[in-house]
Amino acid sequence: MWDERYKTEDYVYGLEPNDFLLENVDQLKPGSVLCLAEGEGRNAVFLAKQGFDVTAMDGSSVGLEKAQRLASENEVEITTVHADLNEFTIEPNAWDNIISIFCHIPPPLREKVHAASAAGLTKGGVLLLEAYTPKQLEFGTGGPPVEELLMSLEGLIQEFQSLEIFQGLETERDVHEGRFHNGRAAVVQLLARK
């Protein structure tokens, strides 16, 4: 599905970084960043331009090829890893930051990935996450049309209880990030530190 979605000349989620990431980049710890389900690379390239050592992982080789092209056009370097989140290993204490932007996966896998992400941060490392909430089904402006793939603040607090959550919010905002995320949306935003 994702290879098909990305198999187009334009960047389907746009070229600009996610708004929540843009607003909070100064909260990140200097050093390395792992971008989960990074797709076409807009967030990874933005972070590389800010001086971070960025690794973008995704299940779509087509998306990652576009990410490398975008990095090259912006004269920055990123590392790309083509992997399924089911098989991808997040090593403990390996990343200064982990970014998860609209990474909607089934609950058992999400719990596994979130636990590994919490463990994967270095001391003082930051997790930044934005996702759609179940209320997003009323808007239909992006994200999966399946409630079990959507996230709530309550659920995320549970899944990241080993971290210090310093910002957690369910809110509505206008999302204009390419043609598949466009319009009023219901989101959950999380910043947490190890």
Residue ranges per domain, the chain? Answer: 2-193
* pLDDT tens digits for range 88-112: 999 999 999 999 999 999 999 999 9
**What own/partner pairs with CB < 8 Å and gap ≥ 24 does 71-79 have?**
71/41, 71/44, 71/45, 74/45, 74/48, 74/49, 76/45, 76/48, 76/49, 77/48, 78/41, 78/44, 78/45, 78/48, 78/54, 79/54, 79/55
Whole-model pTM: value is: 0.95
Fold of 2-193: Rossmann fold (3.40.50)
Residue 162 confidence (pLDDT) above 70:
yes
